[in-house]
């Protein structure tokens, strides 16, 4: 006997209006590959979150890193992006304040710039930094839907132009992302509505379903974050992928499928990746600086020190603690080292 299905109520008030506007704008901006024609299963589709669901880490950080390597953002901004990325990887939970800060930085970065130029940069940066970070397990899930004749969309707070690039590279149907205001082919530095985050994702999925004739009760959504529960609730089949603790608990309570493609998760809780991450971040900063050192005439190491002092170090997750690791003694007769 099929289970009953009821769409959750939408939010009310100013925040709800902004979410509806952001969702409608994202659905209107979605580009469906015309070559696909009418799919064999036209009323079912799959919706995938991007950051930590389809790709390891935050896509906006990789975009920022690529822009820094081209001398288009400052060392200070790159370090800030780096700390946010490091916190995201260690904690596995989105920091809404960091999301807002990244949004504002990204808007300031592209204000006045040509959309065509930013898209070209995005294509290069995906090939350089993002392609190798795609979760193969999540990509396989998306392919299963495609093989079943269903359409597959990315749904992300990432700018829609970058989201489209990722979707195209993965051979997916299309993407829903944050929509920026554009005038005369250039970004104004303002958004249409709000970032496609939280409830706005659910609104975008509903708007796209209405436009494309999808039956949401037959659709599937995938995410790693409890912030995406509204989107997961909006469809008939919800899957938690690499879930944060809150989403894992919600999935267990509601009987949702859980898929975890991460490895060494226990090690990620004892601080070792933090040191490795700091080393990688420092190397990335210095490498990015080397790419545009010839274009400036000041002390870059002094600039790095100043930038590091200005960066807010993310607080550890609740219950986080370094653990002592006991090293066993060498076996009897083993040579001294």
Answer whether residue 54 shows pLDDT above 70.
yes
Two tokens at 307? 């930038």
C-alpha Rg value of the chain to the nearest Å = 21
Is the model more confident about 241 or about 7? 241
d(CA 269, CA 26): 36
Q: For the chain, where are the E strands, in sequence order?
A: 45-48, 151-159, 174-178, 180-183, 186-191, 220-223, 237-241, 257-259
Model confidence at 30, pLDDT cuts 50, 70, 90, reads low
Domain boundaries, the chain: 42-267
Helix, strand or coil for residue 159? strand
Residue among 184, 191, 153, 158 nearest 30 (CA): 153
Q: Check: CB of residue 42 under 8 Å from CB of residue 213.
A: yes
Residue in 51, 77, 224, 228 annotated catalytic: 51
Model confidence at 152, pLDDT cuts 50, 70, 90, reads very high
- CA-based angle 235:238:241, to the nearest 5? 140
Query: Looking at residues 37-66, what average pLDDT do you find?
Result: 89
Two tokens at 1? 């006997």
Instruction: Tell me whether residue 127 is one of the annotated catalytic residues.
Output: no
Is the model more confident about 294 or about 125? 125
The DSSP call for residue 54 is T
d(CA 168, CA 189): 25
Instruction: Tell me whether residue 224 is one of the annotated catalytic residues.
Output: no
Is the model more confident about 17 or about 283? 17
Model confidence at 25, pLDDT cuts 50, 70, 90, reads low
65's CB contacts (< 8 A; 6+ apart) are 78, 81, 82, 125, 129, 284, 288
Q: Check: CB of residue 31 under 8 Å from CB of residue 164.
A: yes
d(CA 150, CA 257): 19
Which of 128-132, 242-246, 297-301 shows the lowest mean pLDDT across its residues?
Answer: 297-301
Average pLDDT, the chain: 74
Query: Looking at residues 259-270, what average pLDDT do you find?
Result: 62
Helix, strand or coil for residue 158? strand
Phi-psi region of 40 (alpha: psi -120 to 50; beta: other; left: phi over 0): alpha
Residue in 49, 224, 228, 244 annotated catalytic: 49
The structure's pTM equals 0.69
Answer whether residue 184 shows pLDDT above 50.
yes
Is the model more confident about 309 or about 105? 105
Is the model more confident about 190 or about 287? 190
CATH 3.30.870.10 for domain 42-267, yes or no, is: no
Query: Looking at residues 229-254, what average pLDDT do you find?
Result: 97
pLDDT in tens, 84-134: 555 554 554 556 666 666 666 667 778 888 999 999 999 999 999 999 999
Phi and psi torsions of 76, nearest 5°: -60, -45
Answer whether residue 151 shows pLDDT above 60.
yes
Which of 24-28, 154-158, 235-239, 312-316 shows the lowest mean pLDDT across its residues?
Answer: 312-316
pLDDT of 146 reads: 95
Answer whether residue 247 shows pLDDT above 90.
yes
One-character DSSP codes across 208-272: HHHHHT--GGG-EEEES-GGGHHHHHTSSEEEEES--HHHHHHHHHHT-EEE---S-TTGGGTTH
């Amino acid at each position: 006997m099929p289970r009953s299905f009821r769409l959750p109520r939408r939010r009310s008030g100013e925040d709800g209006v902004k979410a509806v506007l952001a969702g409608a704008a994202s659905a209107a901006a979605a580009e469906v590959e015309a070559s696909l024609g009418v799919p064999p299963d036209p009323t079912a589709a799959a919706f995938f979150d991007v950051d930590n669901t389809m790709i390891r880490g935050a896509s906006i950080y990789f975009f920022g890193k690529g822009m820094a390597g081209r001398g288009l953002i400052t060392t200070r901004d790159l370090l800030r992006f780096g700390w946010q990325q490091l916190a995201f990887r260690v904690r596995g939970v989105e920091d809404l304040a960091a999301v807002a800060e990244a949004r504002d930085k990204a808007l300031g970065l592209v204000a006045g710039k040509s959309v065509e130029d930013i898209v070209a940069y995005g294509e290069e940066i995906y090939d350089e930094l993002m392609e190798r970070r795609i979760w193969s397990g999540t990509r396989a899930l998306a392919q299963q839907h495609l093989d079943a004749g269903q359409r597959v969309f990315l749904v992300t707070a990432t700018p829609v132009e970058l989201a489209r690039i990722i979707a195209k590279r993965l051979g997916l149907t299309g993407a829903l992302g944050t929509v920026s205001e554009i005038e005369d082919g250039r970004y104004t530095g303002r958004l249409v509505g709000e970032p496609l985050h939280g409830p706005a994702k659910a609104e975008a999925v509903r708007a796209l379903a209405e436009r494309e004739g999808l039956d949401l009760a037959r659709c599937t959504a995938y995410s790693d974050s409890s912030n995406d529960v509204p989107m997961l609730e909006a469809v008939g089949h919800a899957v938690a992928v690499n879930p944060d603790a809150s989403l894992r608990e919600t999935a267990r309570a509601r009987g949702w499928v859980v898929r975890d493609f991460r490895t060494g998760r226990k090690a990620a809780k004892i601080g070792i990746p933090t040191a490795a991450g700091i080393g990688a971040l420092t190397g990335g900063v210095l490498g990015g600086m080397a790419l545009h050192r010839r274009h400036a005439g000041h002390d870059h190491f002094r600039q790095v020190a100043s930038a590091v002092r200005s960066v807010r170090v993310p607080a550890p997750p609740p219950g986080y603690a370094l653990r002592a690791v006991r090293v066993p003694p060498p076996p009897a007769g083993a040579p001294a080292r």
